[in-house]
A and B are shown apart, each in its own frame.
Chain A
Amino acid sequence: MGVEGIGASVVRKEDRRFITGKGRYVDDIKLVGMTFAQFVRSPHAHAKIKSIDTSAAAKMPGVVGVLTGKEIVEDKIGNLICGWAITSKDGTGMKMGAWPAMAPETVRFVGQAVAVVIAETKNQARDAAEAVVVDYEELPAVPDIRAAIKSGAPQLHPEAPGNVIYDWTLGDEAATDAAFKSAANVVSLDITNNRLVPNAMEPRAAIAEYNEAEEHFTLYTTSQNPHVARLVLSAFYNIAQEHKLRVVAPDVGGGFGSKIFIYPEEMVALWASKKVRRPVKWTGDRSEAFLTDAHGRDHLTKAEMAFDASNKITGLRVKTYANLGAYMSLFSSSVPTYLYATLLSGQYNIPNIFAEVISVYTNTVPVDAYRGAGRPEASFVVERLMETAARQLKVDPGELRRKNFITSFPHQTPVIMAYDIGDFGASLDSAMKAIDYAGFPARKDKAKSEGKLRGIGFSCYIEACGIAPSKAVGSLGAGVGLWESAEVRVNPVGTIEILTGSHSHGQGHETTFCQLVAERLGVPISQVQIVHGDTDKVQFGMGTYGSRSAAVGLTAILKAMEKVESKAKKIAAHQLEASEDDIVIENGEFKVTGTDKTIALPMVALAAYTAHNLPDGMEPGLKEGAFYDPTNFTFPAGAYICELEVDPGTGKTSFVNFVAADDFGRLINPMIVEGQVHGGLAQGIGQALLEGAVYDSSGQLVTASFMDYTMPRADDLPSFKLNHTTTLCPGNPLGVKGCGEAGAIGASAAVINAITDAIGNNRLEMPATPDRVWHAIHGNA
C-alpha cells in the first residue's frame, strides 16, 4: 500500500472546493434566459379539484406561463411509477394507483402540486402562485395506518380496495407456528417504527433547458442516480427519448435515499421548459422538502420470538403494516418487503421465521427508502426482541445474543439471505471491552447516588448491502438490474480519468476511487480524476444508495483497471522487449522484474496513443470499460453499545458513551469510513430520541419545519467510540462490504434498549422524547 493507496486515511480531494465556497450545487447554476417555477400545492390532505382559475395569475407581472395538472395529462406525460413489483400472498399483483406529476382531479396529500407558475423572477413566480384560485371539495382523509385499515375507511385509490397495496408473506408459516407451540418461552412486542423526514441539507432542485433546434433536453437535478433518472424520465414518463435527454447531477448536498427517486418537480420543469421555451429553475425550500420529499420508515409491527428451554431461539413471527403514503414512490414497495423481512434473522440462528407485510395507502406524502431502508426497521425489531427476551428470561443480554449467534458461514437464513461471512462474537467482544461492560454495575450505582438513572443497551445489527445481484433482484420483482459500470481512460500524457456510474453526494468517491488507482499503479491521486454525475459523460450507471458504491461501483472500476493494466503491460513488454509475464507495475512504472529496465506510465500511454510502435494487431489507445454485477449481497455487521443517563425530573437523556464495533470488510479510507459511521449513528440516534414526522387527524403535517421536527444538533450527540473488526467479504475482489448505512441501522435499538434499562420500563416508543420518557417513569400522572 502506498501513502495514498487502499487503507490510507487520505484527506479528501473534493474538499477544497467545498471549504472555499466553490462547490457547484444545482441552485448555484444560472442559465441565460432562465425562468423560475413556483408550484401551487394542495392545502388539503384529500380533496377533489372542482376548478382551477389561472387567469389572474397569468396577468401578474413577470409571468411567463401558468400550467395545470390537466395540461400535463393532456400532453401525455406519464404517471409516476413504482419500479419493484410485489406479489401478494393470494397471487395478485400490487395495487398501484395513478400518480400524475400534477393532480388533474384529486389531491391525496398536503403539498401535492396542482399547478405551476413560471415567471421571470422567483418572487414574481411566488406572487403569482398565490393568485391561482383552486376550488376544492374536501374529502375525508386517512392520516395513518390505523385509519387506513379501519373498515369503512375513506378510499384513496379505486385500484386498492381497503387501501391495501399488497399483503405479502415470506417464510414458512406452518413451521413457525409449530415452533411457537412447542416453545418454552415466548417474547412479544408491539413496535412503532417512527416516520422520519430525510432532510438532506440541500433542498431538492431542478433546472430544465430545452433546445428547440435539437429537440434536446438538459436537466440539472439533485439526484443520487442521474442515469436512472434519465431512464425513467425517458422510458416511462415520455419526456424525451434517452439520447435527447441529458441529466446532470452536479454537487449534491446529501441524499440519504431521498434523492434516488424521480419526483414530480423535475418532470414538470422539463415539460414546462418546452412549453415556455425558456430554461426553468425550481429550487425547493425547506417547507416544500418537508411536504414533498419521500419520508422514511413508518411501520406498525407485532413481533414475537420463541425460545426453547436452553434459551435458543426457535422461531420468529412478525406482522408489519407499512405506510407507503398517498402514492407509490419509485422503490417504495421493496423497502418493507425485500429490504426488511429478509433481514429478520439478524445475527442469529433462527430455524423458523414467518413475516407478513401489509402495505397501505394514507393521505400523506409517499414513503420510500431512507438511509438503511427496511434494514433499520428489521434490526430494531430483532434487537428490541433480544433485549426484551434477556430481561424476561433473566439472562445477560450479551450472553443471550452470543448463545444464538450464527458462527459458521456461509449461512442460509430462512428468509432468502445467504450470509457469506462474519464474526459476530468478535464485534461484540470488541464493543463490550470498549465500553467496560464489567464496570457498568458500579457506574450505575454511582449514578443512582447522584439522582440519575443509568442504563446500557446493546444492538447487534446485520445489513444486506452492495445492492445487488441483478438476477436475484430480478427474480424478486425489481424492474432494473443493479450492477455498476466504469470506464478507465488513460490520457496520452499518462493522467487518468475514471468514469463511474456511482454518484457521490458526500461519500468521498473522488478520493476513495482514486485510492484504488494509486494502489494499483502507484501514481499519486492528483494524477487521477473521477468523472461522474453526467449522462453525457458516463455511459450508464445505477447510482449510489444501499451502501453499494464500494462493493459494486469500485469493483467495476477494478475490473476496468485490470483490462487497462493488461493492455499497458503488453505495450510495456513490447517497448522493453521483454515478456509480458515479467512486467510488474510499481510507483507508476512498468518494470521488467529482476532487472532495472523500466518504462513510466506516461511513456506507455504516449506509445498507446502515438501508435508508432505497438505490438502487431493491437488497437491504439488506452481506455477500457467494465460492467460488474455482484454475485451476492454483502453483509456488514457489528455491535453497538450505548450507555446513558436519564434525568428522572425531566425525562431528559444524556449520553455517557456510545461504542460502535463494525465489520465492513476491507476499509479503503478509514477516515471516510468513520465519517460515514458517525453520520449514520447520528441519524439512528435521531430516530430514537428526537425525530418523528407527525400528521394530525386531518392529514396536516404538524412537524413541517425545523421548529417542530427535531434535527439532531451538535449538543444532542456524544463523540463516538469506533472500533473495527474485519472479515473480508469473499464476494468481491476487494473484500469490501459497505459502510454508509450501518450507523442508522444499528443505533436506534441500542438507545431504546439503554433507556428502557435505565428507567425499568420496557414500554417506550420512538422518538423517546423527554416527555415520553418522563411519562414512562412516572406513569400518566
Chain B
Amino acid sequence: MYQTTYHRPSSVDEAAALFAKGSESKYLAGGHTLIPVMKQRLASPSDVIDLSKIKELVGIALSGDALIIKAATTYFDILRSADAKKAIPALVHLVSVLGDPQVRYRGTIGGSIANNDPAADFPAAVVALDATVKTNKRSISADDFFKGLFATALEDGEIITAISFPLPAKAGYSKMRHPASRFALTAVFVTKTKSGDVRAAATGASQNGVMRVPAIESALKANWSPGALDNVRISADGLLTDIHGSSSYRANLIKVMAQRAVTAAG
C-alpha cells in the first residue's frame, strides 16, 4: 500500500470538506473493495475518508411506502432488520448471499452501489426496485444512477446518504454465484410494483454492469409466473465471456435466474 492519510469525520459535511481538501481523496465505508485495491497498489488515494462512523449515515426506517436504508448501514444490519425483512424479504435474501459473514459485518449498501462493480448484488436490487439514491446534494433515480462499469452519476466528492426503496407488491432475487469470487456470475432481481409494473435487473452478466432485461419484464408483465419465461430468448450479445462462463451460458442464466426469482417472489 502506498502512503495515505486516514480521516474519520463525524458528519457528512465534515467528510465532504475533507474530501475537497485532499489532492486525490477517496471515501471509505466498509473498505472491502478499496483496501484490497490499495493493497495491490492499484489505487493510491492521498486521503482516505472513513464514512462508517458518521451516525447520520446509519439506520433503517420503514416510512410509508418506502424502506429507507441509510448509506453506511452494513449488510449485517440489513440482514437482522425486522423492518427490512417485513418490507422487502427479497432484499434480505440478497444480503444473505452477498459476500461472506466477515464482509457482511463491514460492507455497506452505499459502498456497494457507489462502487458499481459489474457483478455486485445491490445494483440489481436498486434498479429492479426502482429505488432512489439520495446524496448530500440531490436525489437520483436508479435508472439514472448506474452508468456502466464502475461508473455512476455521482459527482466528485458527492456522498450517498440513503437509498429509498418503494415497497413492491412482489420481489425476488436469484443468484448464481461466481465460484471463486462469490460475486454474481449472473443474478437477477425481479419486482412487481404495486401499480402492476414489472422490473427485472441482471447483474454479473453484462460488460456494463447491472442492466434491465426488457424481454423478461414484458413476459412477466403479461403473466407473472416462471413458465411465462420458458420461451423467452435472451441474446448473448454484449454479455461477458470469461473462464467461468460464456456469454451464451450467462444468457441462459439470466432466464433461469429470473424464473427462480419469480418462484421465490411467489
Question: Is any CB of A less than 8 Å from a CB of B in the complex?
Answer: yes
Q: Which 4 A-B pairs have the closest CB atoms?
A: A710-B180, A649-B256, A710-B179, A771-B245
In-complex Cβ contact of A650 among B40, B244, B253 (8 A) = B253
Contact B180 A708 (CB under 8 A): yes
Contact A771 B246 (CB under 8 A): yes
Contact A706 B176 (CB under 8 A): no
List 13 other contacts, CB 8 Å, given A706-B181, A775-B249: A649-B252, A650-B256, A651-B249, A708-B243, A709-B180, A710-B179, A710-B180, A711-B180, A769-B244, A769-B245, A771-B244, A774-B249, A775-B248
10 A-B residue pairs with CB within 8 Å:
A127-B2, A649-B252, A649-B259, A650-B253, A651-B249, A692-B243, A694-B243, A703-B243, A770-B179, A771-B249
Which residues of A are found within 8 Å of B246, using beta-carbon distances?
A: 771, 775
Rounded to whole Å, the gap between the CB of B45 and the closest CB of chain A is 16
Q: Which of A706, A709, A770 has the most chain B CB within a 10 Å cutoff?
A: A770
Q: For the complex, what is the distance from the CA of A130 to the CA of B185, rounded to whole Å?
A: 34
Rounded to whole Å, the gap between the CB of A344 and the closest CB of chain B is 30
Contact B179 A769 (CB under 8 A): yes
In-complex Cβ contact of B179 among A123, A287, A690, A702 (8 A) = A690
Instruction: Find residues 495-509 in chain A having any chain B CB closer than 8 Å to their own CB.
Output: none
Which residues of B are found within 8 Å of A650, using beta-carbon distances?
A: 176, 253, 256
Rounded to whole Å, the gap between the CB of A232 and the closest CB of chain B is 33
What sequence of 0s and 1s flags, for each residue 317-361 of chain A, a beta carbon within 8 Å of any chain B beta carbon? 000000000000000000000000000000000000000000000
A652 within 8 A of B: yes
What sequence of 0s and 1s flags, for each residue 689-715 of chain A, a beta carbon within 8 Å of any chain B beta carbon? 010101000000011001111110000
Please give the number of chain A residues whose Cβ is less than 8 angstroms from any Cβ of chain B in the complex: 29
In-complex Cβ contact of A774 among B40, B179, B252, B259 (8 A) = B252
What sequence of 0s and 1s flags, for each residue 150-190 of chain B, a beta carbon within 8 Å of any chain A beta carbon? 00000000000000000000000000100111000100000
Instruction: Find residues 219-266 in chain B having any chain A CB closer than 8 Å to their own CB.
Output: 243-246, 248-249, 252-253, 256, 259
Instruction: Find residues 740-781 in chain A having any chain B CB closer than 8 Å to their own CB.
Output: 769-771, 774-775, 778, 780-781
Residue of A whose beta carbon sits closest to that of B176 = A650
Q: Name B's A-contacting residues (CB within 8 A).
A: 1-2, 40-41, 176, 179-181, 185, 243-246, 248-249, 252-253, 256, 259
Which residues of B are found within 8 Å of A708, using beta-carbon distances?
A: 180-181, 243-244
Q: For the complex, what is the distance from the CA of A775 to the CA of B250, rounded to whole Å?
A: 11
Which residues of A are found within 8 Å of B180, using beta-carbon distances?
A: 690, 703, 706-711
Residue of A whose beta carbon sits closest to that of B180 = A710
Contact A770 B176 (CB under 8 A): yes
Rounded to whole Å, the gap between the CB of A705 and the closest CB of chain B is 8
Instruction: Find residues 669-725 in chain A having any chain B CB closer than 8 Å to their own CB.
Output: 690, 692, 694, 702-703, 706-711, 716
Which residues of B are found within 8 Å of A692, using beta-carbon distances?
A: 243
Residue of A whose beta carbon sits closest to that of B255 = A649
Which residues of B are found within 8 Å of A778, using beta-carbon distances?
A: 252
Q: For the complex, what is the distance from the CA of A23 to the CA of B256, rounded to whole Å?
A: 48
Which residues of A are found within 8 Å of B256, using beta-carbon distances?
A: 649-650
Which residues of B are found within 8 Å of A709, using beta-carbon distances?
A: 180
What sequence of 0s and 1s flags, for each residue 636-667 of chain A, a beta carbon within 8 Å of any chain B beta carbon? 00000000000001111000000000000000
Q: For the complex, what is the distance from the CA of A570 to the CA of B261, rounded to whole Å?
A: 79
Q: For the complex, what is the distance from the CA of A780 to the CA of B248, rounded to whole Å?
A: 8
Which residues of B are found within 8 Å of A781, using beta-carbon distances?
A: 248
Contact A652 B176 (CB under 8 A): yes
Contact B1 A123 (CB under 8 A): yes
Q: For the complex, what is the distance from the CA of A692 to the CA of B179, rounded to whole Å?
A: 12
Q: For the complex, what is the distance from the CA of A711 to the CA of B248, rounded to whole Å?
A: 25
Which residues of B are found within 8 Å of A703, using beta-carbon distances?
A: 180, 243
Rounded to whole Å, the gap between the CB of B71 and the closest CB of chain A is 25
Q: For the complex, what is the distance from the CA of A587 to the CA of B33, rounded to whole Å?
A: 60
What sequence of 0s and 1s flags, for each residue 297-312 of chain A, a beta carbon within 8 Å of any chain B beta carbon? 0000000000000000
Which residues of A are found within 8 Å of B2, using beta-carbon distances?
A: 127
Q: For the complex, what is the distance from the CA of A716 to the CA of B245, rounded to whole Å?
A: 18
Contact A702 B243 (CB under 8 A): yes
Residue of A whose beta carbon sits closest to that of B1 = A123
Q: For the complex, what is the distance from the CA of A692 to the CA of B180, rounded to whole Å?
A: 11
Q: For the complex, what is the distance from the CA of A621 to the CA of B1, rounded to whole Å?
A: 57
Q: For the complex, what is the distance from the CA of A449 to the CA of B19, rounded to whole Å?
A: 59
Q: For the complex, what is the distance from the CA of A771 to the CA of B40, rounded to whole Å?
A: 30
Residue of A whose beta carbon sits closest to that of B181 = A707
Q: For the complex, what is the distance from the CA of A769 to the CA of B179, rounded to whole Å?
A: 9
What sequence of 0s and 1s flags, for each residue 43-73 of chain A, a beta carbon within 8 Å of any chain B beta carbon? 0000000000000000000000000000000
Residue of A whose beta carbon sits closest to that of B243 = A694
Residue of A whose beta carbon sits closest to that of B245 = A771
What sequence of 0s and 1s flags, for each residue 539-552 of chain A, a beta carbon within 8 Å of any chain B beta carbon? 00000000000000
Rounded to whole Å, the gap between the CB of A199 and the closest CB of chain B is 12
Which residues of A are found within 8 Å of B248, using beta-carbon distances?
A: 775, 780-781
Residue of A whose beta carbon sits closest to that of B2 = A127
Q: For the complex, what is the distance from the CA of A527 to the CA of B40, rounded to whole Å?
A: 48
Q: For the complex, what is the distance from the CA of A778 to the CA of B249, rounded to whole Å?
A: 10
Which residues of A are found within 8 Å of B245, using beta-carbon distances?
A: 769-771
Which residues of B are found within 8 Å of A769, using beta-carbon distances?
A: 179, 244-245
Q: For the complex, what is the distance from the CA of A546 to the CA of B166, rounded to whole Å?
A: 61
Rounded to whole Å, the gap between the CB of A439 and the closest CB of chain B is 30
Residue of A whose beta carbon sits closest to that of B39 = A285
Residue of B whose beta carbon sits closest to that of A694 = B243
Q: Which of B180, B252, B253 has the most chain A CB within a 10 Å cutoff?
A: B180
Rounded to whole Å, the gap between the CB of B157 and the closest CB of chain A is 28
Residue of B whose beta carbon sits closest to that of A287 = B40
Which residues of B are found within 8 Å of A770, using beta-carbon distances?
A: 176, 179, 185, 245, 249
Which residues of A are found within 8 Å of B244, using beta-carbon distances?
A: 708, 769, 771
Q: For the complex, what is the distance from the CA of A771 to the CA of B259, rounded to whole Å?
A: 18
Which residues of A are found within 8 Å of B243, using beta-carbon distances?
A: 692, 694, 702-703, 708
Rounded to whole Å, the gap between the CB of A712 and the closest CB of chain B is 10
Rounded to whole Å, the gap between the CB of A154 and the closest CB of chain B is 24
Q: Which of A126, A130, A694, A707 has the most chain B CB within a 10 Å cutoff?
A: A707
Which residues of A are found within 8 Å of B252, using beta-carbon distances?
A: 649, 774, 778
Rounded to whole Å, the gap between the CB of A281 and the closest CB of chain B is 19
Q: For the complex, what is the distance from the CA of A775 to the CA of B180, rounded to whole Å?
A: 20
Instruction: Find residues 198-253 in chain A having any chain B CB closer than 8 Å to their own CB.
Output: none
Which residues of B are found within 8 Å of A287, using beta-carbon distances?
A: 40
Rounded to whole Å, the gap between the CB of A83 and the closest CB of chain B is 34
Instruction: Find residues 5-32 in chain A having any chain B CB closer than 8 Å to their own CB.
Output: none
Q: For the complex, what is the distance from the CA of A780 to the CA of B2, rounded to whole Å?
A: 46
